Amino acid sequence: MKLASKFKTATVLGAVCAAFAVPAHAEFTGSAGLGVHVWDGGYRDTDAQVWPIPAVDVETDHFYFKGLEAGGFLVKTDAHRLMLGVSYMGLGFDAGDSDDARMKKLDDRDGSFFANVTYAWRSQLGQITASIGADISGKSEGFMSDVSWMKRFDVAGFGVTPQVGVLFTSEKFNDYYYGVSHAESKRSGLDAYSADAGVSPYFRLIGDYRISEKFSVYAEGTVRSLSKEIKDSPMVDGDIAYGFGAGVSYHF
């Protein structure tokens, strides 16, 4: 496994957060720390990506910082939240990382910035979240939409949060990350492929434990069933994408 672009996600987060800087007098609550995330997107003969991820979860009355996303609240009540934010989406492909000689001759696919509109409804039954995001970095020029349900349970001092969702990715998004152009096909020997839009269901399980008043640790795992449009790509050799993460947080 390779360390993806030498801590690029941490650098990118700093740029995103700077765009939504919180005034020094603003009251806020939340946590900050550091985690490591491993993600295997299903690319043929390519090792999983390893990212250092800031474990940030901070809110003020008007702004929020969560993971690799920063933004503002358009509506914020106990039950309803409407948010506008900018996030970094780290999915990518480095041709040099693949052990397949044909994959090494393809173009790289870079991570991208997304502008997102998100609505969340909270109740005793859990939280339902719906979001739509558009690539604003000029990479795929596509968009994706995510609808999910999640709820945290306390189990013998541990927090356990299951999440079930569906991710929609547009034709341009899929074609950028999983398509093979005719020029790439000629030099690599892989079949040319143009991807359509697709839907990928997923399941995530998050566990957390408060080790002291100020510190907690967490771990998470995600399994995503790749859509047919992604699985059919000659760049992909599996049906499942998966990720794991762990880290420590300081609460204030």
State the DSSP code for 226: -
Write down the pLDDT at residue 200.
97
Main-chain dihedrals φ then ψ at residue 188, nearest 5 degrees: -105, -30
Task: List, for residues 32-52, the tens digit of each pLDDT value.
Answer: 999 999 999 899 999 988 988
pLDDT above 70 (res 2): no
Task: List, for residues 102-144, the tens digit of each pLDDT value.
Answer: 999 999 999 999 999 999 999 999 999 999 999 999 999 999 9
DSSP 3-state of 173: helix
Task: List, for residues 196-239, the tens digit of each pLDDT value.
Answer: 999 999 999 999 999 999 999 999 999 999 999 999 999 999 89
- Residue 18: which pLDDT band, with cuts at 50, 70 and 90? very low
DSSP 3-state of 82: strand
- In this structure, how many other beta carbons lie within 10 angstroms of the beta carbon of residue 143? 19
Mean pLDDT of the chain: 90
Transcribe 25-44 into DSSP letters: T---EEEEEEEEEEEE--BT
d(CA 159, CA 208): 5
Task: List, for residues 154-200, the tens digit of each pLDDT value.
Answer: 988 899 999 999 999 999 999 999 999 999 999 999 999 999 999 99
Q: One-letter amino acid identity for 225?
A: S
DSSP 3-state of 50: strand
pLDDT above 90 (res 10): no
Residue with tokens 């358009």, as numbered in its chain: 74
- Percentage of the chain with pLDDT > 90? 79
pLDDT above 60 (res 77): yes
165 close to 148: Cβ distance less than 8 angstroms: yes
d(CA 12, CA 47): 22
Write down the pLDDT at residue 74.
97
Print the SS3 string covering 97-159: HECCCCHHHCCCECCEEEEEEEEEEEECCEEEEEEEEEECCCCCCCEEEEEEEECCEEECCEE
Q: Is the sign of the CA dihedral 226, 163, 176, 241 positive or negative?
A: negative
- Residue 12: which pLDDT band, with cuts at 50, 70 and 90? very low
- Residue 28: which pLDDT band, with cuts at 50, 70 and 90? low
- Residue 53: which pLDDT band, with cuts at 50, 70 and 90? confident
Main-chain dihedrals φ then ψ at residue 162, nearest 5 degrees: -85, 145
d(CA 125, CA 99): 46
And the tokens for 65?
A: 């910082």
In this predicted structure, which of 7-16, 93-102, 150-159, 240-249 has the lowest mean pLDDT?
Answer: 7-16
User: Averaged over 6-11, what is the pLDDT?
Assistant: 45
Q: One-letter amino acid identity for 82?
A: L
Write down the pLDDT at residue 16.
45
- The vertex-132 CA angle with 78 and 92, nearest 5°, equals 120
CA-based nearest residue to 48, from 105, 101, 4, 106: 4
Write down the pLDDT at residue 24.
47
d(CA 70, CA 13): 8
243 close to 38: Cβ distance less than 8 angstroms: yes
- Percentage of the chain with pLDDT > 70? 89
Write down the pLDDT at residue 123.
96
pLDDT above 80 (res 25): no
